[in-house]
Amino acid sequence: TRVGDLAGRRVVVTAGGTREPLDPVRFLGNRSSGKQGVAIAEAARERGASVTLIAANLEVARPEGCDIRAVSTALELRDAVREAAVGADVVVMAAAVADYRPAVVSEAKLKKDPGSDDGLTLELVRNPDILAELGREPHDGTLLVGFAAETEPDAERLLELGRAKRRAKGADLLAVNRVGWTAGFAADDNVVTVVDGDDTVVAELHGTKSSVAQGILDVVVSKLAPSS
Ligand code: PMT
């Protein structure tokens, strides 16, 4: 039943983790490998979609058959998503995007102060919330799918955090993803609960990141308006 059910659709997927430079050789980053986002891009392509993958510092091979735009920082990811999202049927924000970036990026490699043993205090400024921006703007005809990466151990509270995040960001669907030292980020398997715009749980998925990707796309297909 899945074969070709995304034919004629344009799907944009973000994957990986952003890196925010401090100087020419250092960055603030996160442990997203890109596995989950790449699995979604591959699954969408297999199901017939034309796929744009916004790839932030992937630690896995780039999938075949997708239009790939490589980015590194949150600001670059934002520009690439905003451009690709125009006219897209689906945007899936699986990338782990830095909420803050260093206020100043040094042109020279930062050096220790030889005259003192003091620590270093970094000043960070907020990055834009890309999903919330897209969610706030009119996006008729574009289904917006977000993730919520949360360390909350209690299942009920985890779901409530996910619902609140979906509302705050204006996403049409949100995949609640419990993460931790060994869960979610970089792992081969994943556990995800999908909530829709009525706060209803529409899927509970666990297994390989490919099987989770297929389950998320099953929900996406069920929510898409008939194509013209
Ligand atoms: O890449 P893997 O190693 O396979 O790991 C997969 C994953 C755990 C990273 C992935 O499944 C996941 O949960 N991605 C979302 C990570 C994240 O940034 O979550 P968040 O709860 O901080 O953000 C919520 C949503 O807003 C996300 O869709 C995120 O892409 C988006 N966001 C966040 C911050 C920001 N400044 N702009 C955004 O658009």
> Cα separations (Å) of 24 from 34, 101, 124, 137, 152?
23, 14, 17, 35, 35
Closest CA to 148 of 139, 140, 157: 157
- Residue 116 maps to a domain: no
Q: Is the pLDDT of residue 110 over 70?
A: yes
* Residue labelled with tokens 């009525």: 198
Q: What angle, 0 to 180 degrees and rounded to 10, lies between the N-to-C axes of helices 35-46 and 209-223?
A: 50
CATH number of the domain enclosing 37: 3.40.50.10300
- Residue 38 maps to a domain: yes
Mean pLDDT of 79-108: 98
- Residue 228 maps to a domain: no
ipTM of the complex: 0.99
What is the overall mean pLDDT for the chain? Answer: 97
Structural domain that includes position 78: 10-100+123-223
- 35 assigned ligand-binding residue: no
pLDDT of residue 224: 96
The confidence band for 122, taking pLDDT boundaries of 50, 70 and 90, is: very high
pLDDT of residue 1: 59
Is there a contact between 170 and 93 (Cβ–Cβ < 8 Å)?
no
Long-range Cβ contact pairs of 209-215 (< 8 A, separation 24 or more): 209/35, 209/36, 209/39, 210/39, 210/42, 210/43, 212/36, 212/39, 213/36, 213/39, 213/40, 213/42, 213/43, 214/2, 214/43
pLDDT of residue 228: 63
For ligand 1, whether the C-beta of 6 sits within 6 Å is no
pLDDT in tens, 14-43: 999 999 999 999 999 999 999 999 999 999
For ligand 1, whether the C-beta of 130 sits within 6 Å is yes
- 138 assigned ligand-binding residue: no
- Residue 18 maps to a domain: yes
> Can you give the length of the chain in residues?
228
- 223 assigned ligand-binding residue: no
Compute how many other C-beta atoms are within 10 angstroms of the C-beta atom of residue 128. Answer: 13
Q: Is residue 30 annotated as part of the catalytic site, yes or no?
A: yes
pLDDT of residue 226: 85
For ligand 1, whether the C-beta of 194 sits within 6 Å is no
pLDDT in tens, 47-65: 999 999 999 999 999 999 9
- How many domains would you assign to the chain? 1
Give 115 Cα–ligand 1 centroid separation in angstroms.
41
CA distance 80 to 84: 6
* Residue labelled with tokens 């869960």: 183
- Residue 87 maps to a domain: yes
For ligand 1, whether the C-beta of 171 sits within 6 Å is no
pLDDT in tens, 183-228: 999 999 999 999 999 999 999 999 999 999 999 999 999 999 888 6
Radius of gyration of the chain measured on its C-alpha atoms: 18
204: amino acid identity, one letter = E
Give 168 Cα–ligand 1 centroid separation in angstroms.
14
- Residue 58 maps to a domain: yes
Is there a contact between 35 and 209 (Cβ–Cβ < 8 Å)?
yes
- Residue 65 maps to a domain: yes
Which tokens in the block code for residue 47?
């199901």
Secondary structure (DSSP) of 137-156 = S--TT-EEEEEEEE---SHH
Give 37 Cα–ligand 1 centroid separation in angstroms.
10
CA distance 37 to 14: 6
- Residue 4 maps to a domain: no
The confidence band for 2, taking pLDDT boundaries of 50, 70 and 90, is: confident
Please identify, by atom number, the ligand 1 atom nearest to the C-alpha of residue 147.
28
